[in-house]
Every structure is written in structure tokens, then in C-alpha cells.
Structure 1
Amino acid sequence: MDVGNTEFDHAGIATREADELETLFGDLLGAPVAHRERFDGMDVIFLDLGNGYLELLEPHEGGTIDRYLERHGPGIHHLAFATGDIAAALDTARELGIDLVDEEPRPGAWGHEVAFLHPGSTGGVLVEFAEHG
């Protein structure tokens, strides 16, 4: 099944200090802020690397990132891949026997449609498909 041009989009980083990481990676990598918003109880900051983004995720109202930080501490939370057809990407994952976190795409940060694949089926990595709006 053709899922379109699937390519690396971003690495999501769970943190309790998004502003500090914004400064650190901005200075270290020359990565300016491309987008910032409060979404789903989190501050979300996308830093532009030129060929993808770092997505900094700081929880404010509990939720999945807060629980992740309690269990695992700060660090890489997920890897995201942009696709031109998220429904086809999910169909391909199903055909491959991959367990889905999201059976259907849902709204994500920055106006993207997103869906996650279960890390138990992807080598321990939480994988996100993102279709840009």
C-alpha cells in the first residue's frame, strides 16, 4: 500500500523545563522556534532543525506526558513521521500486524492530524504518523 512520501518529521521530547531546553537547543543547534502553543494540557514548542523538528512537550494539567515523566523521566518520548495519507499509513500498519494506539487519526499540535503506533509493536519506540493540515 502506498502511504505517500513518508519522511522524518520530529522527535518529541518530554520535559518539565521546555523553556530551558528551548534555550539550550536554540543555542547549541541554532534551532529557532518554528511554532509554540498550549495544546491538550501541555506547552508544545517546535524547534526548526532545517530537516525536521524537535518538539518539546511540557505538561501542565496531568495527562500522558506527565505520566510518562513520572515513570521514565525526561527524554525522547516519540519519533514522528510525516505522511501525505495518514489513513493509508494506518492501513499499512494494520496489514503488518502493528498494534495501534489510535485506530483513527485525531487532532494534534500545530493543526496536524496524528495517530500513534504502540511501542510494543515497533521495537519499543512510540511512533507517530503526522499529516500536516
Structure 2
Amino acid sequence: MEFDHVGVATDDAAALANLFDDLLDAPVAHEETFDGMRVVFLELDGGGYFELLEPREGGAIADYLDREGPGIHHVALATDDAAAALDHARDLGIDLVDEEPRPGAWGHDVAFLHPRSTGGVLVEFVEH
């Protein structure tokens, strides 16, 4: 597996995208509304993305912002087989958020591991 992106919860994706573009020269690579969120991917030099997550209605990101405030929400790793990655995590006794991959942003299949089993980090597997 390799690094794919870091998800950042924010109340204002446009302002944060402008800041990161100015600061890091990280232009918008993809943008969509998905699952009640505005999702903006900023491309980083050398590979990988910042994924900005702005809630448009209630949901997991709105709840996260209410509870934790803006900041890093998850770390995503690219895999060729998200189902096999989940099986491996399950075999290791890791608690899963998703029992099987599901549709995610940008048309990718995704699956999450529960942070209580991964040192407090919400880990996402992304299958392109």
C-alpha cells in the first residue's frame, strides 16, 4: 500500500483550498458533492492529495466538526484490493467500520478501519 490522501474536515472548503493552493501550490484536482458533503481534492507535488470535506447537511463530517472541530479526519492508503485489505485487517483483530468496500468519492471503492484499533487514527483503504 501507499499513501493516497489525508482527509481534512472543514467548514469552508473553498477558503481552505485557496489557502493550500497559495501555501503549497496544491491546485484543485477534483471536486464533487458526495454523501452530503462538498469534497475537494488538492493535488500535492510528489503524489497524494489533501481531501477537504465540508458538510452540506448533517452526517459524519458535520458530527465530527461539532465534536472535534476542523482538522485531520482520516488517512487513506491506496490498495489494489480493498476487500482483501479488510480481510487482512479482520484477521489481525482490527475493528472495522465497513464490513465490505463501499462506493466513495471520485468513483473509488473505500473501506474504513475503526480508530480504536489503529492508535486513534481513522484509516481508509482506497481502491482506484
Shift of residue 130 of structure 1?
0.4
Correspondence list, 1:102-113, <5 A: 102-113=98-109
State how far apart, in whole Å, the 1-side matches of 2:4 and 2:108 are: 11
Pair 1:43 & 2:38 matched: yes
Secondary structure of 1:91's partner?
A: helix
Aligned to 1:76: 72
Shift of residue 87 of structure 1?
0.9
CA deviation string 1:69-110 (max 9, x = no partner): 000000000000000011110011011110000000000000
Pair 1:98 & 2:94 matched: yes
CA deviation string 1:6-59 (max 9, x = no partner): 100000000001000000000100001110000001000000003100000000
RMSD: 0.5
Aligned to 2:23: 28
Secondary structure of 1:130's partner?
A: strand
Where does the alignment leave 5 or more consecutive residues of structure 2 unmatched?
none
State how far apart, in whole Å, the 2-side matches of 1:105 and 1:86 are: 6
TM-score between both structures, scaled by the size of structure 2: 0.98
Pair 1:121 & 2:117 matched: yes
Where does the alignment leave 5 or more consecutive residues of structure 1 unmatched?
1-5
State how far apart, in whole Å, the 2-side matches of 1:39 and 1:19 are: 16
CA deviation string 1:108-128 (max 9, x = no partner): 000000000000000000000
The alignment of Structure 1 onto Structure 2 pairs a total of residues equal to: 127
The one-letter code sitting in structure 2 at the alignment partner of 1:14 is A
State how far apart, in whole Å, the 2-side matches of 1:85 and 1:58 are: 28
State how far apart, in whole Å, the 2-side matches of 1:9 and 1:16 are: 23
The percent of aligned pairs where both chains have the same amino acid is 73
TM-score between both structures, scaled by the size of structure 1: 0.94
Aligned to 1:52: 48
